[in-house]
Amino acid sequence: MHDVRSTVPKGEAFEAEAGLPRTHYLNATHGTAAWLLTKDHKRIGLLYLFAISFFFFLGGLFAMFVRLELLTPEGDLLTSEMYNTSFSMHGIIMVFFFLVPSVPAVFGNFFLPIMIGAKDVAFPKINLLSWYIAMIAGFMMLTTLLMGGVDTGWTFYPPYSTTGSSSNVVLAALSIFVMGFSSILTGLNFIVTVHTMRAPGMTWGRLPLFVWAQYATSLIMVLGTPVLAITLGLVFAERVFHFGIFDPKLGGDPILFQHLFWFYSHPAVYIMVLPGMGVISELVAAFSRKQVFGYSFVAASSLAIALVGFLVWGHHLFTSGQSAYAALVFSFLSFIVAIPSAIKVFNWTATLYRGSISLASPMLYALGFIGLFTIGGLTGLFLAALGLDLHMQDTYFVIAHFHYIMVGGTLLAYLGALHYWWPKITGRLYTEAWAKVAAITVFVGFNLTFFPQFIVGYLGMPRRYHTYVPEFQVLNVLSTAGASILAVGFILPACYLVYSLFRGGVASRNPWGAYGLEWETTSPPPTSNFLVTPIVTRPAYAYTHADVVSPYAGSTQGERDTGTEETQRV
Amino acid sequence: MSDAVHVEHAGAVGHAHHPALQHHFDDLEQQQRAAMLGMWVFLLTEVLFFGGLFMAYILYRSWYPEAFHEASRHLSVGWGFFNTLVLIASSLTMALAVRAGQTTNRRGQLLFLTLTIVLGAAFLGVKVIEYGDKFAHHLVPGPDFQFTPAELAPAAEIYFSLYFAMTGLHALHMIVGAGIMLVMLYMAWRGRFSTEWYTPLEVSGLYWHFVDIVWIFLFPLLYLIGGLSVFGGGTGH
Amino acid sequence: MSAHIVPVRVYLIIFGALLVLTVVTVAAAGVELGWLNTPVALGIAVSKATLVVLFFMHVKYSTRLVKLTAFAGFFWLAIMITLTLSDYLTRDILAAGK
Ligand code: HEM
Ligand SMILES: [Cu+2]
């Protein structure tokens, strides 16, 4: 496959149109304060990138402990308490500090305003505030960690969290309470931005699917997160003020916690995967040079997921003592939620059909996503089937299910987005050959890690124990081996991406020849994103010609846009 | 940096920038629309934030109607009623303050904002009295909690957990609201609000009314479910 | 700005209505209506909230988007309550058949 990127030798950087622009958002102002007090959505996106990369590393460390412990059937590396703490901290950090913010806070922040032709998000100060809130929450979680961490699992179920586990739960719950507000503010900002900041001509029907996905995700953030916050707030109050709302001693009901928790946390799995789906739509279109098949269905399916995702949480309570009637209802509704996801998969596949596909590294991630997400979604349906779930609840089958979606899906999309937009963000090109090697390593490592978990779970290995019967050892060793390969797959990009900052070729405006407003501005973009407010005249993904088509009139530097100012409507 | 941006505006709007216009918006109208929608979306999150507590209330009230009934008799309907009137009045003064912004009436803004703050403070003052009373009568959840009849005590403790969670969170919102109103008062004093631009005033007004609405539900659900027999000071036992 | 300036008279009428409804809700609590007490109290609270939302918060004069947002909060709350109760209210139904 040919490399579609056009590189420019470094020496000629300032001559060619493709050279680094003289001033851009990265060099507009200097100094730590200029970064830490920035209101530029692009810089805030990068602040998030640094922060969550750190948390990803930390979460990965705990995953390593878990996998190493599971090499042998006996608990010989960690005590059971340490093991419990390891998988809890892994889950908490990965879910709340990596996956939830990942694509929205980094790429959503960076690209959503650019993709709709805005100068910034609607509330730049609130955007910065949300980063600080996230950092405060992160700091609290690190403190919890230093105090010994928590061992409740990422779900904080009472009565263990309220009466059993160590008092570290107090700070951990507060940390996630605080983190929730960061998420809420990001969602709020995106919703208002999409409604009020679109460039002239950027109608709802022309929004890139990435923006649609971000919008739907934001709805979930805004509607679900407050319930998580209040629920963990009550756990906090129960420990600190002796409130008794979930306390069975007083006649309180721990299952109420589960209802409220999953009212957020099932939709939250879509907070984690919808933005990734948006990325995949962009990648599939860009690398098959086609309009996404059934654009409006893909856009609408994002909204459908945001709605229906709120109706199925009870499938996490099948064995918790909820009524049999409710279990039936939730089981049925859970089958419905698969429909919009399936629509997306079908439409991506249809887009690939007869496209002129190039297997550039971001596309490798996209193809990986489509395959792995499909497996994750289908096994979700197994679990949603009431009868089957009674057998599989709390086994490694569940672990494999959600890792196929959260790692095989979201993380691959995140990496795909990172590779796709890296030249735009940094103005540099990384080594494509290495990127391909990394993508394949991740794919192989991932499957080797998690496929055996389907089998071992189906055979009955429960989750959250640090010992297991010897019959399961082979599959567990395979899984740990896979995890090591996976780790290599994550370290590789860290190396060649950082290398590219210093030695990479200079990226042109549009190295992939892709279609979209973000590719019309310089790489890296100027602080105000565009020198001239773009006027959009065509739908998204109008790959009608083989070469790049400008989506709006009057684009190049120096020209001033004399077109009439249309006012956008909400 | 905003060279091109300026040119656009000069062409489109035709007069100098309003000092309140932020650089990333095209005009004040867009900025106002964004702020209003932003506040509404924020209130949406608030509905669900309080919603979790209402859910817990619904469940336990339906499970323990008798204990809730008995426990509720320890609240003072009189104070609750008084505070309801205070909050409704403060909503009126708030609405009038926004109206004074719309009509560039600086004195009106100052008067009605001050009244709003005073009423808010009165509400909080009553709340302090009520909370003090609960402490005095061992009605605060925890090891000190005492309730007769004893067989209703555990569920009554749940009731009072909810009472403190809901009214406490509400009071917190009042405190934040009063702080915001002080800022508004300062801005009004500096003459910032006019027919052309009074967005902060309007947006803070929305918040204030929302907090009022929460109380409109809390009052009957917490104070009135025990009937009317107890007035004044929760000395029911 | 395209603001709708509501006459002071309207605000005063709404204020009066809210006062009356508050008195009514207290009075109704003093009457023994059996299971009806709660629905009556909630009905009055909803009416009061609606008045505040429509007039004090100007939703009556606002865009469709604002109306939709205001409505969405209560809609999602209803989802939460309904589906949670679909568990609690049916705990006995199928268990009886065991
Ligand atoms: C296609 C739609 C999906 C269906 C029908 C589905 C169904 C289920 C079911 C029934 C369970 C409960 C299994 C058990 O505990 O026994 C479950 C667990 C889980 N699912 Fe899914 N799922 C779907 C999509 C997703 C997505 C998109 C994600 C994440 C991005 C996800 C993440 C999770 C997680 C994290 C758990 C485990 C939670 C825990 O107990 O720790 N699922 N899923
Ligand atoms: Cu779920």
Helix orientation angle between A209-240 and B153-189, rounded to the nearest 10 degrees: 120
| Residue of chain A with shortest Cα separation from C97 | A324
Whether A315 lines ligand 1, by a CB cut-off of 6 Å, is yes
Burial of B114 (C-beta count, 10 Å sphere; 0-12/13-18/19+): middle
Give A409 Cα–ligand 1 centroid separation in angstroms.
13
Query: A176 — alpha (psi -120 to 50), left (phi > 0) or beta?
Result: alpha
Which of A190-199, A317-326, C1-10 holds the top average pLDDT? A190-199
- φ, ψ dihedrals at A429, nearest 5°: -110, 135
Q: Name the pLDDT band for A89 (thresholds 50, 70, 90).
A: very high
Q: Name the pLDDT band for A19 (thresholds 50, 70, 90).
A: low
- ipTM of the complex model: 0.92
Which chains form contacts with chain C, at 3 or more CB pairs under 8 Å?
A, B
Q: Give the pLDDT score at C37.
A: 87
Which chains form contacts with chain B, at 3 or more CB pairs under 8 Å?
A, C
A398, A457 Cβ separation under 8 angstroms: yes
How far is the C-alpha of A424 from the C-alpha of A523, rounded, in Å?
5
A301, A336 Cβ separation under 8 angstroms: no
How far is the C-alpha of A346 from the C-alpha of A352, rounded, in Å?
10
Q: Which residues contact A11 (CB under 8 A, 6 or more apart)?
A: none
Q: Give the pLDDT score at A543.
A: 83
Q: Give the pLDDT score at A245.
A: 93
A117, A533 Cβ separation under 8 angstroms: yes
Q: Give the pLDDT score at A449.
A: 98
- Reduce the secondary structure of C40-82 to three states and give it as a string: HHHHHHHHHHHHHHHHHCCHHHCCHHHHHHHHHHHHHHHHHHH
> Residue A387 CB: number of other CB atoms within 10 A?
8
> Which domains can be identified in chain A, with CATH numbers?
4-568 (1.20.210.10)
DSSP state string for A421-432: HHHHHHSEE--H
Residue contact B91–C76, C-beta within 8 A: no
Q: Give the pLDDT score at A528.
A: 93
Low-confidence ranges of chain B (pLDDT < 70): 1-16, 228-237
Low-confidence ranges of chain C (pLDDT < 50): 1, 96-98
Angle at A178 (CA atoms; ends A172, A182), nearest 5 degrees: 135
How far is the C-alpha of A190 from the C-alpha of A122, rounded, in Å?
8
Residue contact C85–B29, C-beta within 8 A: no
A502 contact C CB<8A: no
Q: Is the pLDDT of residue A262 over 80?
A: yes
Cβ-nearest to A323 among C76, C79, C93: C93
> Residue whose CA is closest, atom 23 of ligand 1?
A380
Read off the tokens for A557.
């530097």
Q: Give the pLDDT score at C32.
A: 82
Residue contact B155–A250, C-beta within 8 A: yes
Read off the tokens for A181.
């507000």
Q: Give the pLDDT score at C92.
A: 82
Cβ-nearest to A325 among C79, C80, C93: C93
> Residue whose CA is closest, atom 22 of ligand 1?
A380
Q: Give the pLDDT score at A187.
A: 98
Q: What residue ranges do the domains of chain B occupy?
A: 26-223
pLDDT tens-digit readout, A527-550? 999 988 899 988 899 886 444 433
> Residue whose CA is closest, atom 14 of ligand 1?
A393
- φ, ψ dihedrals at A31, nearest 5°: 100, 155
Reduced to 3 states (helix: H, G, I; strand: E, B; else coil), residue A48 is helix
Query: Which A positions 197-216 lie with beta carbon below 8 A of chain B?
Result: 197
In what helix (H) or strand (E) does residue A7 lie, and over which residues does it extend?
strand A7-8
pTM: 0.91
Q: Which of B2, B6, B48 to mutate to test the interface with A (most CBs of A within 10 A)?
A: B48
**Domain topology for B26-223:** Four Helix Bundle (Hemerythrin (Met), subunit A) (1.20.120)
Q: Give the pLDDT score at C30.
A: 87
Whether A381 lines ligand 1, by a CB cut-off of 6 Å, is yes
Residue contact A226–B154, C-beta within 8 A: no
Q: Which residues contact B206 (CB under 8 A, 6 or more apart)?
A: B36, B39, B40, B43, C57
pLDDT tens-digit readout, A243-259? 989 989 889 999 999 99
pLDDT tens-digit readout, A475-493? 999 999 999 999 999 999 9
Q: Is the pLDDT of residue A556 over 90?
A: no
Q: Give the pLDDT score at B11.
A: 36
Pocket test for ligand 1, best of A154, A279, A337, A383 (most atoms within 8 A of CB): A383
| Residue of chain A with shortest Cα separation from C88 | A323
| Average confidence score pLDDT of chain A | 91
Residue contact B99–C5, C-beta within 8 A: yes
